[in-house]
């Protein structure tokens, strides 16, 4: 069982880091007291695999002394748990700006005292924890997508495959709300008006042949493939999947044929692709 302890300076981005870990499949708990760490681990182990990866946000609110934390980590080691520590920090000017924007009190602040003093005191208090951290991330002015990339590089260097979901649909029934990108192929010849093809779908070879014997369909496929080949790596930095919707009037012929061809083209570029056809499956 794996435990990732997310710690560091207040205002450095621990909550955001927990959100990223949750997206990566971790069960996240905020502000668990160090004294309860061993008992919590035992409860997780008792579920026999339900909680294999746990991320715990711990800071000066939950760590009253490092002797207590050392005892808790020893309990985890006795339970044969893997423990890694991710430490987040930022420079004083960045932390001051963030506290000014949030207007929240610093957990080590004292009435009438400048926040800078509380930050300095917290930095000194957490120095031993920083020294034993497996990963240290500086979050100064880091957008969320950059923080996500940094965390993934640390705790999950062998990144799980980025998935591309390709969905065909019919405009007649509305746009799919889950779509990230939408491509309209109503510009292509419509097999619906061919009596022999009307009852078939884009999954049938005669319909696909009809759509792609038109040179414009081949050119459109090539351009869509190149566009996605360029843009998909850009999306990978802050998400694990992308839904690409391809639409025609009824969602049974042109969009289905194009979605199938686009999926094949991306698979040839070694993307993990899932294909679904809304109007055929609904």
Q: Which of 28-32, 47-51, 55-59, 80-84 has the lowest mean pLDDT?
A: 47-51
* pLDDT grade for 65, boundaries at 50, 70 and 90: confident
Which tens digit of pLDDT belongs to each residue from 214-270? 889 999 999 999 999 999 988 887 677 899 999 999 999 999 999 999 999 998 888
pLDDT at 35: 84
Instruction: Tell me which residue has tokens 């500086």.
Output: 138
Check pLDDT > 60 for residue 160. Answer: no
Structural domains in the chain, sorted by start: 2-155 (3.40.50.300), 163-281 (no CATH)
Alpha helices in 24-110 (DSSP H): 37-45, 66-78, 92-102
pLDDT at 31: 85
* pLDDT grade for 113, boundaries at 50, 70 and 90: confident
**β-pair type (27-30, 135-138):** unpaired
* Residue percentage of the chain with pLDDT more than 70: 94
The C-alpha angle with vertex 179 and arms to 178 and 181, in degrees rounded to 5, equals 160
Rg (CA), the chain: 26
Q: Which of 52-66, 72-86, 254-268 has the lowest mean pLDDT?
A: 52-66
pTM (two decimals): 0.60
pLDDT at 271: 85
pLDDT at 192: 93
Which tens digit of pLDDT belongs to each residue from 142-151? 666 667 778 8
């Amino acid at each position: 069982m794996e435990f990732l302890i997310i710690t560091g300076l207040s205002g450095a981005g621990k909550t955001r880091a927990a959100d990223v870990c949750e997206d990566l499949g971790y069960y996240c708990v905020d502000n668990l007291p160090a004294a309860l760490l061993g008992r919590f681990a035992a409860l997780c182990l008792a579920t026999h695999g339900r909680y294999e990866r746990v991320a715990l946000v711990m800071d000066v609110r939950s760590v009253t002394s490092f002797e207590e934390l050392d005892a808790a980590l020893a309990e985890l080691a006795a339970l044969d748990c893997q423990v890694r520590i991710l430490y987040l920090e930022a420079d004083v000017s960045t932390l001051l700006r963030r506290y000014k924007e949030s207007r929240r009190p610093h957990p080590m602040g004292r009435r009438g005292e400048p926040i800078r003093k509380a930050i300095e005191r917290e930095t000194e208090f957490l120095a031993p924890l920083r020294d034993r951290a497996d990963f240290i991330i500086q979050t100064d002015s880091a957008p969320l997508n950059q923080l996500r990339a940094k965390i993934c590089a640390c705790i999950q260097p062998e990144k799980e495959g980025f998935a591309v979901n390709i969905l065909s649909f019919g405009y007649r029934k509305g746009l799919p709300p889950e779509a990230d990108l939408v491509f309209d192929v109503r510009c292509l010849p419509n097999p619906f008006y061919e009596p022999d093809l009307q009852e078939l779908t884009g999954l049938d070879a005669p319909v696909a042949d009809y759509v792609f014997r038109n040179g414009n369909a081949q050119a459109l496929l090539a351009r869509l493939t190149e566009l996605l080949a360029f843009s998909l790596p850009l999306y990978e930095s802050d998400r694990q999947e992308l839904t690409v919707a391809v639409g025609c009037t009824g969602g049974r012929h042109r969009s289905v044929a194009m979605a199938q061809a686009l999926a094949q083209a991306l698979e040839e570029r070694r993307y993990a692709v899932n294909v679904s056809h809304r109007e055929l499956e609904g």
